[in-house]
Amino acid sequence: MSLEAFATSRPLTMGVELELQIVNRHDYDLMPGSKDLLRVMEGVALPGDVTPEITDSMIELCTNVCDSYDQVLEQLTITRDALVRSADKLNLGLSGGGTHPYQHWSKQRIFDKPRFQEISGLYGYLSKQFTVFGQHVHIGCEGPDQALRLLHGLSRYIPHLIALSASSPYVQGNDTGFHSARLNSVFAFPLSGRAPFVLTWDDFLIYFEKMTRTGVVRSMKDFYWDIRPKPEYGTIEVRVLDTPLTIEKASALAALIQCLARWISHDRPFELAEDDYLPYTFNRFQACRFGLDGTFVDPKSGEHRSLREDLNVTLHALEPHAVALRAEPALRYIREEMRWQGNDATWARGVFEKEQLLNELVRQQCERWAGRPI
Amino acid sequence: MNDLANFLQFTTWPPRADWLFWASLILVAAGLLGELVNRRLGLPRVVGYSVVGMLLAATGHGIYSNGALDARLRLVVDLALALLLFEMGSRVNLRWLRNNKALLWASAAEATASFVAVGFGLTLLGVDPLISISCAVLTMAASGAVIGRVGAELQSAGQVSERMVAMTALNTIYGVLAHKLLMGWLQLEQKGDWLEAVAQPLYAFIGSVIVATLLARLIAWLMRKLDLRNENSVLMLLGLVLVALSVARVLNLSTLLVPLMAGMVLRNTTERPWVWPRHFGTAGGVLVLLLFVAVGSAWTLQALAAGAVLALALLLLRLLAKALALVGLARVSGIDARQGVALAVCLSPISGSTLVLFSEVQARHPDIALQLAPVILSTIALMELAGPIAVQWGLRLAGEQQPHAAPNREAKR
Do B187 and B199 form a contact (C-beta atoms < 8 A)?
no
Task: Classify residue B331 as left (phi > 0), alpha (psi -120 to 50) or beta.
Answer: alpha
Alpha carbon separation from B112 to B97, B201, B320 (Å, rounded) = 18, 20, 12
CA A363 to CA A28: how far, in whole Å? 6
Cross-chain Cβ contact B273/A26 below 8 Å: yes
Phi and psi angles of residue A170, each rounded to the nearest 5 degrees, phi first: -110, 135
Helix B159-191 to helix B101-124 angle, to the nearest 10 degrees? 50
Sign of CA dihedral A59, A64, A69, A70: negative
Sign of CA dihedral A211, A212, A213, A216: positive
Q: Is B372 helix (H, G, I), strand (E, B) or coil?
A: helix
Amino acid at B389: I
Residue A118 has a CB neighbour count (10 Å cut-off) of: 12
Do A3 and A231 form a contact (C-beta atoms < 8 A)?
yes
Q: Which of A67-81, A160-174, B57-71, B314-328 has the least mean pLDDT?
A: B57-71
Strand partners, A222: none
How far is Cα of residue A229 from the mean position of the Cα atoms in its chain? 15
Cross-chain Cβ contact A36/B404 below 8 Å: no
Residue B14, preceding peptide bond in cis (omega within 30° of 0): yes
Q: How buried is residue B245: exposed, middle or buried, by Cβ count under 10 Å (0-12/13-18/19+)? A: buried
Residue B407 has pLDDT above 50, yes or no: no
In this prediction, residue B410 has a pLDDT band, given cuts at 50, 70 and 90, of very low
Nearest by CB to residue A89, choosing from B273, B334, B336, is: B334
Residue B405 has pLDDT above 50, yes or no: no
Q: A with B: how many residue pairs have Cβ under 8 Å apart? A: 58
CA B355 to CA B138: how far, in whole Å? 8
Mutate to test the interface with B, among A22, A26, A366 (most CBs of B within 10 A): A26
Residue B274 has pLDDT above 80, yes or no: yes
Phi and psi angles of residue A306, each rounded to the nearest 5 degrees, phi first: -85, 155
Q: Is A140 helix (H, G, I), strand (E, B) or coil?
A: strand
Spell out which chain A residues touch chain B, with contact meaning CB-CB distance below 8 angstroms: 24-28, 31-33, 36, 39-40, 86, 88-91, 106-107, 109, 355-357, 359-360, 363
Spell out which chain B residues touch chain A, with contact meaning CB-CB distance below 8 angstroms: 91, 93, 95-96, 99-100, 155, 157-159, 162, 227, 271-273, 275, 334-336, 400, 402-404
* pLDDT per residue as tens digits for the range B343-388: 999 999 998 899 999 999 998 899 999 999 999 999 999 999 999 9
Q: What is the pLDDT of residue A187?
A: 83
**Min Cα–Cα distance to chain B from A356, Å:** 9
**Min Cα–Cα distance to chain B from A36, Å:** 7
Mutate to test the interface with A, among B272, B396, B413 (most CBs of A within 10 A): B272
**Min Cα–Cα distance to chain A from B406, Å:** 13
- Name chain A contacts of B158, Cβ cutoff 8 Å: 31-33, 36
Q: What is the mean pLDDT of residues A201-224?
A: 91
Q: Report the share of chain A in percent with pLDDT over 90.
A: 82
Q: Is A161 helix (H, G, I), strand (E, B) or coil?
A: helix
- Name chain B contacts of A88, Cβ cutoff 8 Å: 95-96, 99-100
- Name chain A contacts of B162, Cβ cutoff 8 Å: 24, 91
Q: What is the pLDDT of residue B408?
A: 39
Q: What is the pLDDT of residue B109?
A: 98
Sign of CA dihedral B104, B162, B318, B190: negative
pTM (predicted TM-score): 0.92
- Name chain B contacts of A24, Cβ cutoff 8 Å: 157, 162
Predicted interface score ipTM higher than 0.85? yes
Q: What is the mean pLDDT of residues B287-300?
A: 91
Q: What is the pLDDT of residue B412?
A: 32
CA B285 to CA B149: how far, in whole Å? 10
- Name chain B contacts of A107, Cβ cutoff 8 Å: 155, 402, 404
CA B355 to CA B359: how far, in whole Å? 6
Q: What is the pLDDT of residue B102?
A: 96
* Concatenated DSSP letters of B196-253: HHHHHHHHHHHHHHHHHHHHHHHHHHHHHHS-TTSHHHHHHHHHHHHHHHHHHHHTT-
Nearest by CB to residue A27, choosing from B159, B273, B404, is: B273
Mutate to test the interface with B, among A86, A90, A372 (most CBs of B within 10 A): A90
Cross-chain Cβ contact A36/B158 below 8 Å: yes
Nearest by CB to residue B162, choosing from A39, A88, A91, is: A91
- Name chain A contacts of B404, Cβ cutoff 8 Å: 106-107
What chain B residue is nearest to A107 in terms of C-alpha separation?
B402
CA B242 to CA B236: how far, in whole Å? 10
Mutate to test the interface with B, among A91, A117, A367 (most CBs of B within 10 A): A91
CATH class belonging to B69-398: mainly alpha
A227 vs B239, more confident: A227
What chain A residue is nearest to B270 in terms of C-alpha separation?
A360
What chain B residue is nearest to A358 in terms of C-alpha separation?
B273
- Return the DSSP state at A68: S
Nearest by CB to residue B273, choosing from A88, A89, A363, is: A363
CA A196 to CA B366: how far, in whole Å? 85
Q: What is the pLDDT of residue B406?
A: 42
Nearest by CB to residue B334, choosing from A31, A40, A357, is: A40
